Amino acid sequence: MDANYHYDAIIIGAGPAGITAGIYLSRARMKTLLVNEGTIGGQLVLTHEIANYPGVESISGYQLANIMKKQAKSFGCEIKGNVSVMNIELSGDIKMVTLSDGTVSTSNVLILSPGGRSRTLGVAGEDNFKGKGISYCATCDGDFFSDKEIVVVGGGNSALEEAVSLTKYATKVTIVHQFDYFQAFENAIEEARNNPKIHFIMDSKITGFYGNENLESVDLKNLKSGETNNFRTDGTFIFIGYLPNTEFLKDKVDLNKWGEIIVKNDMSTNIEGVYAAGDSIAKRYRQVTTAVSDGTIAALTASGYLNELKVKQKQLITL
């Protein structure tokens, strides 16, 4: 194996979690490679405005991602964008990563931070109005819908809890759900039902999104009668599930039934030398701040492991 391709640490996924891990590891003088499938920054670059990242009153996600990237590079972190992971070998002491650019790299430590994506409805107009009236995150975007009338799609705990939280901003929240019952805890259902700002349209689904610059209305189809009508709305929040980008990790590392990576508090996985961070791990809150926090913990735990490894290797040489 070409020694140029051996690293102390390889990080898979350059969203806020992976870049933060890159900053910490490189600054600790660990030879670090950060690889990413798409644009460096992950979901951050899809975010029009970040207004809840401490210390920065308002910034576009793209700008924040570029600052993070520059910071990681300034400490010597090697960053490769637009490459996919073709294969990973985690079983031995040395981890091996094969990339779509044909390179095979090895490392003592691997950090998994591939993030995730919200489930989408996959109906006409959804892609056009993402960030222009369609959102998948109430914490991120609720504030932009103050004094507006909005729709929430979904019937699980997230949909009901987020609908209640959105009533802090919106004057009216209409929950649209495909069944005539909810798949949520009784207290979440009760809280939503008791909120005077929340209205319900059951047995229905959205079949299209319409507007000019921003979203203005949706088509609603009643699944029992088959009737469709156009419904005016300023915004639509979709909470129909979340998908971690962990398909490539199946049978490699312990995942839960939702495909989320199982980690301990120090971000270690079930495989020695393999850590995980960010939206792809099993956790409740998925934000830039939580991703950055996980990335920090993963990098510090990994640094401790690498330092111990270096001490052991020195002892072996002097024996």
Residue ranges that bind ligand FAD, judged by CB under 6 A: 12-18, 35-38, 42-44, 46-47, 50, 52, 84-85, 113-116, 131, 136-137, 140, 245, 248, 278-279, 286-289, 291
Q: How far is the CB of 114 from ligand FAD (least distance, A)?
A: 3
Round to whole Å and give the CA distance between 17 and 299.
10
Q: Is 75 helix (H, G, I), strand (E, B) or coil?
A: coil
Q: What is the signed CA dihedral for 90, 92, 93, 96, rounded to 10 degrees?
A: -50
Round to whole Å and give the CA distance between 195 and 193.
6
Q: How far is the CB of 248 from ligand FAD (least distance, A)?
A: 5
Name the residue nearer to ligand FAD (CB basis): 39 or 195: 39
Q: Yes or no: say if 112 and 121 are a contact pair by the CB < 8 Å rule.
A: no
Name the residue nearer to ligand FAD (CB basis): 133 or 278: 278
Name the residue nearer to ligand FAD (CB basis): 198 or 299: 299
Round to whole Å and give the CA distance between 102 and 171.
54
Round to whole Å and give the CA distance between 274 and 13.
14
Task: Give the residue ranges of DSSP H helices in 225-266.
Answer: none
Task: Indicate the helix (H) or strand (E) that contains 192.
Answer: helix 186-193
Q: How far is the CB of 106 from ligand FAD (least distance, A)?
A: 16
Q: How far is the CB of 175 from ligand FAD (least distance, A)?
A: 21
Name the residue nearer to ligand FAD (CB basis): 70 or 193: 70
Name the residue nearer to ligand FAD (CB basis): 69 or 177: 69
Q: How far is the CB of 35 from ligand FAD (least distance, A)?
A: 5
